[in-house]
């Protein structure tokens, strides 16, 4: 049975996971490979991205890894070149890198503000900037940017810099889509809601002031699920399946759009 991405070359940034379990980039890379894509899995952490690659190889998929920094232009140039050299094309760019640190407008330092905004916007700008010439040459491409519901909704946690950066990702993606729509290149954003990932757990530790061992994550998951109309928190696979749709030809007439993957939270938050 043919996969939805058979023969496509896909680059996933942030393809490792920052802790045990499934992060959004890791799940996306594995699902893309299961659907027939040739995957370049990129991450700053070699061990993390190797774990993702081992899963793909173990399932018979094709994957190459790239260890580099998506906020460094020279590294990004090399990353794009590695994808094209390995696979001959770049059909899908899935941007997934981001950091967060708790802080209100008063408590956030200028240094933290600058670091979060720099990383969380440049990690989308630079890969797009250097992927676009290849996509223009091909006359086609799909760009998927991971934003967040928190870019437009205050969910109660103090993440002013992170939330601002995620709103910026949507604006960037809309402008990208409008600029290249007539060139065969699509760009869309995914806005996750409350998703159970290693990064989300790290955020909980940051805001709680407790150690990981002191936090009852099961009780916390139930409390979070109660806020969501669908009465469950999301998983990295919910995000990955949405990314698969946007990467595939099933979404051929969709560009400049945002897809909320949040169990309906945006309707009530």
Report, as residue numbers or ranges, the catalytic residues: 162
Q: Which of 90, 6, 94 is nearest to 52 (CA)?
A: 94
Beta bridge partners of 93: 11, 143
């Amino acid at each position: 049975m043919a996969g939805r991405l058979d023969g496509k070359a896909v680059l996933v940034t942030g393809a490792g996971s920052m802790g045990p379990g499934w992060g959004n980039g890791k799940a996306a890379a594995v699902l893309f490979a299961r659907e027939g894509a040739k995957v370049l899995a990129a991450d700053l952490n070699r061990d993390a991205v190797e774990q993702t690659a081992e899963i793909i190889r173990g399932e018979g998929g094709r994957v190459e890894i790239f260890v580099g920094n998506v906020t460094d232009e020279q590294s990004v140039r090399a990353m794009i070149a590695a994808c094209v050299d390995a696979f001959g094309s770049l059909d899908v760019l899935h941007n997934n890198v981001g950091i967060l640190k708790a802080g209100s407008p008063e408590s956030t330092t200028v240094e933290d503000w600058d670091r979060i905004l720099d990383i969380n916007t440049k990690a989308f700008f630079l890969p797009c900037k250097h992927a676009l010439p290849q996509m223009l040459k091909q006359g086609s491409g799909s760009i998927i940017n991971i934003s967040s519901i928190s870019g437009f909704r205050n969910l109660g946690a103090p993440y002013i810099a992170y939330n601002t950066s995620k709103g910026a990702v949507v604006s960037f993606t809309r402008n990208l889509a409008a600029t290249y729509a007539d060139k065969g290149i699509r760009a869309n954003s995914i806005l996750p809601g409350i998703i159970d990932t290693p990064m989300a757990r790290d955020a909980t530790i940051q805001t709680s002031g407790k150690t990981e061992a002191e936090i009852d994550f099961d009780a916390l998951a139930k409390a979070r699920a109660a806020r969501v109309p669908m009465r469950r928190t999301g998983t990295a696979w919910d995000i990955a399946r949405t990314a698969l749709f946007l990467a595939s030809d099933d979404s051929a007439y969709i560009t400049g759009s945002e897809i909320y993957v949040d169990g309906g939270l945006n309707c009530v938050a």
